[in-house]
Amino acid sequence: MMEITILATVCAFLVVIFLGPITIPTLKRFKFGQSIREEGPQSHMKKAGTPTMGGIMFIIAIVVTTMVVSRKMTGTLWVVLLTTAGYGVIGLLDDGLKIVRRRNLGLRAYQKLIGQITFAFILAYFAYNSKDIGSTIHIPFTDVYFDLGIWYIPFIIFFIVGTTNAVNLTDGLDGLASSITLIVGVFFAVVTYLIGTDNESIGSLSIFCGALVGSLLGFLKYNSYPAQVFMGDTGSLALGGAISAIAVLLKMPLIVVIVGGIYVMETLSVIIQVTSFKLTGKRVFKMSPLHHHFEQIGWHETKVVAWFSILTAIFCLIGFLAISF
């Protein structure tokens, strides 16, 4: 399985590298440029017009590579691809409306939520009825698997929607969401390989993880500072769907709180900022999400990306300690 996972990584990388020179000029030709929020950092205004929806590249790479490289398409592979592509479509519609309206406003919140809950339910229902997964989840740092019973499906839906939107919030600097999710993807690639040696259904997920890692490696060529293309909601929602789907299928949704610590911090910074301002009229951070706070205190965005990536690597090492292999 290791050889196939490595093959998937290399193939997905090459697919994105190949798609870049085709996709980016096409997005420019059709004026699919990013709109920048006026209330955001002023230094980002120069990024207005940078092609967005670049997440299409790694979504294609992940789906095609997984289907071509896999010797057998298991149910887990089908559902993880459906979740990734489904959330990508929601993001695509959101990005498309932003471009048409020429402003940073796409789908309405309730429209996004309906779509997200729909795909989350499909994944949760599949997992709940799977003999390999069921209604249990692993408790980090223990050997305990807790049975949620009838609460499993609503909990998993909440987890998937929450994780997806957390990844979406993290996508605010060149290469930030790509780098962090790449590291988390490596973590899950190792875990799926180690756990799936005696389980074909789980083991096949390592191929998907390899494709995820390879495609993001390729995408960083175009998305690292200064970005030639942004992933848009198309990419960030797809990545959130991918990470949450892997965690659910491994019965490890709680591990994302650890390895995806940056996602959690970004989300909490927004919650704290909004709550504080509404209750006291004062802001805790100079700007939220958290990556913008560090920009406002003088950090260059490449430094923010570097430090957040380092922290993610540390969180993933802790994550290995939290799992009973």
Residue set of the binding site for Mg(2+): 168, 233
* C-beta separation of 51 from 230 below 8 A: yes
Distance CA 160, CA 242 (A): 10
Distance CA 181, CA 225 (A): 16
List C-alpha distances in Å: 309 to 1, 259, 285.
28, 11, 21
Instruction: Give the three-class secondary structure for 130.
Output: coil
Task: Locate all alpha helices (DSSP H) within 44-128, ordered by sequence.
Answer: 55-69, 75-101, 109-128
CA nearest to 137, candidates 253, 259, 242 = 253
- Token readout for 59 is 């979504």
Residue positions in the annotated binding site?
A: 168, 233
Distance CA 27, CA 229 (A): 9
Distance CA 129, CA 76 (A): 12
Q: Is the peptide bond before 226 cis (omega within 30 degrees of 0)?
A: yes
- Token readout for 267 is 């989300």
* C-beta separation of 35 from 237 below 8 A: no
- Token readout for 238 is 């797809």
Distance CA 135, CA 74 (A): 20
